[in-house]
Amino acid sequence: MPRVPLAWCNLTHDRLRFALFALGIAFAVILMFVQLGFRNALLDSNTQLHDAFRCDLVLTAPGRQAAAMREAFPRRRLEQVRAVPGVAEVHPLYLEQAVSLLRDTNPDPAARQPARHVRVIGVDPAAGLLALPELAPGSNAARRLTERGTALFDRRTKPDPDRPGQTLYGPLAAGVESELAGSRIRFVGSFELGTDFTTDGTLIVGEDTFLDVLRRPFTFPSDSPAATVDYGLIRLEQGADPQAVMAAIRRAVSTGEPDPDVEVFTLDELKGRERAFWLNNTPIGFAFGFGMFMGFAVGLVICYQILSGDVTDHLPEYATLKAMGYGNGYLAWVVIQEALILAVIGYIAGLVVAWGAYTLLTATTGLPMRMTFDRATMVFAATVVMCCLSGLVALVGLLRADPADVF
């Protein structure tokens, strides 16, 4: 005869109670998923600009640990790097979000939005520096950006919760004119990038427009607005060894200078540097990591209460099995099976709800809440460990129970 699935029967003999048990585990799973989702959204959103870079290596100031920081390096470094063997192209990329105030110029004062800071990216439109379809070399948007005073806006700019159909910066559409840092700007197209924890919207402008609008008015007459750049995007010759070229670049920029004012990274290294900054140097990374731990702890308590209550309710039955000759190992395996069943059922329910929550939060906040296989697997492993640990703690009373005392 096949063995009776005792663990399954113990849990499902009362269907309503079993459903409540599964919902308790699902609640902990949802809590872990949401905290993990916000933590990863913090990291993914702050590296999505780096993901769009079309280059092999990146130059940046040594102290610029995050894109939101304001630290540039001398433009002359680009010329030094351009002369290094193995380097095919070097292009500057400008980034500004401190003085780039975008003002809504709607003629109706009642519908006008207050001025807000926006992130502005300045590029050479013909160089194809960003992996955006709208900025492909020769595209209409790339050609239009060569005109001074033109810009592309991000279609994923954060919407205004109080005014449906508008963004926090007012209406954004091709042909709309606005005011950026006190200068007239005309939108000639759009692209899709997304927001992050420091930016609600992004504009892309041509290099000439960036220097005219955001650099020249804020520099001394004796200074060149193009004297410094924020990033240098390096493309290598076909077949060049990135590590060897990086070593050559470091030698070129450090010759005769004890403290170089520029550093070179691969894209992966640059993204790792950005992630490390947000995780280790800001309270946000710690807060979401602690929130996930608290979700695990809450689930541990919930699962323990469920399993210990179930063991207590069925203690006479377990005592009977002991009296019949079943050992502690068999009874422990029954409880662990119950823990595994609850982990799987609760995880499936929590995964479905968390997936919907990710979709809603992405649409509401603009942050990239992504459900990847690795992240789903990590939460599943945490759920199994959580339930098994609770089962092991709940076993203490069962293993100590004497059948004679119970009867």
- DSSP string covering 29-77: HHHHHHHHHHHHHHHHHHHHHHHTB-SSEEEE-TT--STTS---EETHH
Per-residue pLDDT for 8 more than 90?
no
Q: What is the mean pLDDT of residues 17-28?
A: 90
Tokens linked to 69: 């920081």
Q: Between 227 and 318, whose confidence is greater?
A: 227
Nearest Cα residue to 125 out of 224, 39, 210: 210
Q: What is the mean pLDDT of residues 110-137?
A: 87
pLDDT confidence band for 222 (50 / 70 / 90): low
Give the range among 159-168, 191-200, 365-374, 396-405 with minimum mean pLDDT. 396-405
Q: Between 1 and 400, whose confidence is greater?
A: 400
Across the chain, what does the average pLDDT equal? 86
Per-residue pLDDT for 108 more than 80?
no
CA terminus-to-terminus distance, the chain:
29
Tokens linked to 257: 């200078």
Alpha-carbon span 41 to 285, nearest angstrom? 10
Tokens linked to 36: 């993990």
* E strands in 82-166: 87-96, 101-103, 116-117, 119-123, 150-154
Per-residue pLDDT for 248 more than 70?
yes
pLDDT in tens, 310-319: 888 777 777 7
DSSP annotation of 276: H
By CB atoms closer than 10 A (0-12, 13-18, 19+), residue 85 is exposed
Q: Which residue has the tokens 């029954």?
A: 334
Q: How do the residues of the chain divide into helix, strand and coil, expressed in percent and rounded to 5?
A: 50, 15, 30
pLDDT at 114: 80
Quote the pTM value.
0.82
- Compute CA distances 43 → 37, 64, 268, 368, whole Å: 10, 17, 13, 9
Per-residue pLDDT for 328 more than 60?
yes
pLDDT at 107: 72
- Sketch the domain layout of the chain as residue ranges: 6-46+283-406, 62-261
- Compute CA distances 188 → 61, 141, 172, whole Å: 32, 7, 10
pLDDT at 403: 65
Q: What is the mean pLDDT of residues 331-335?
A: 85
Q: What is the mean pLDDT of residues 224-241?
A: 90
Where helices occur in 171-225 by DSSP H, the ranges are 207-210
Give the range among 130-139, 175-184, 209-218, 359-368 with minimum mean pLDDT. 359-368
Question: Beta 263-266 vs 101-103: how paired, if at all?
Answer: unpaired
Alpha-carbon span 387 to 246, nearest angstrom? 49
Per-residue pLDDT for 1 more than 60?
no
Of 82-91, 247-256, 258-267, where does the model show the most confidence? 82-91
pLDDT at 366: 76
Per-residue pLDDT for 111 more than 80?
no
Alpha-carbon span 379 to 349, nearest angstrom? 13
CB of 25 closer than 8 Å to CB of 295: no
pLDDT in tens, 76-106: 899 999 999 999 999 999 999 888 889 877 7
- Compute CA distances 60 → 47, 73, 222, 262, whole Å: 15, 7, 25, 6
pLDDT confidence band for 198 (50 / 70 / 90): confident
Q: What is the mean pLDDT of residues 336-356?
A: 93
Q: What is the mean pLDDT of residues 143-150?
A: 90
Nearest Cα residue to 77 out of 98, 55, 97, 62: 62
CB atoms < 10 A from the CB of 23, how many? 14
pLDDT at 204: 95
Helix axis angle for 328-365 and 283-313, nearest 10°, is 140
Q: What is the mean pLDDT of residues 69-82?
A: 90
pLDDT at 216: 82
pLDDT confidence band for 401 (50 / 70 / 90): low
Per-residue pLDDT for 298 more than 60?
yes
pLDDT at 4: 63
